[in-house]
């Protein structure tokens, strides 16, 4: 799957977001090294701390289906924003736990442009197990 297809998967999945409070739907598409794709959406809760982001939904679903640290190849994030939509800091930390620092992260905007960054560019001084 190429990056355009992965981004399109994130865009389509965004339609399933549960965002009644923020009205800000987000979709994510996570590509595994074996070619499998897991999609995720943000799922809000009236108690905002209980909300889960699209990126974590996709990663946690992959883990629940037996995938492990190192099995992740790329992730795309889609929202309806004028600028490129990056993952929040919590999602970046979860990505640092499961993904290679060189893993591509595809950010999108409402003009359907794609910006590719490596995870290490989004989280340059990641807290990792080496820091323990």
What's the token pair of residue 8? 């399109």
Cβ pair 84, 115 in contact under 8 A = yes
> Based on the number of CB atoms within 10 Å of its own CB, is 126 exposed (0-12), middle (13-18) or buried (19 or more)?
middle
Any alpha helices (H) in the chain, and if so which ranges? 3-13, 54-64, 89-98, 119-122
* Residue length of the chain: 132
Q: Contact 41/26 with Cβ under 8 angstroms?
A: yes
CB neighbour class for 104 (10 Å; exposed up to 12, middle 13-18, buried from 19)? middle
Active site residues: 55
């Amino acid at each position: 799957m190429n990056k355009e297809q992965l981004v399109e998967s994130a865009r389509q999945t965004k339609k399933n977001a549960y965002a009644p409070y923020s009205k800000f739907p987000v979709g994510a598409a996570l590509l595994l090294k074996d070619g499998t794709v897991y999609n995720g959406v943000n799922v809000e809760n009236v108690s905002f701390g209980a909300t889960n982001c699209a990126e974590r939904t996709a990663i946690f679903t992959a883990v629940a289906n037996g995938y492990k640290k190192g099995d992740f190849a790329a992730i795309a994030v889609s929202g309806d924003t004028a600028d490129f939509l990056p993952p929040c800091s919590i999602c970046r930390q979860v990505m640092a736990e499961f993904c290679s620092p060189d893993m591509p992260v595809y950010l999108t905007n409402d003009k359907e442009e794609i910006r590719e960054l490596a995870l290490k560019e989004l989280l340059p001084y990641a807290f990792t197990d080496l820091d323990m």
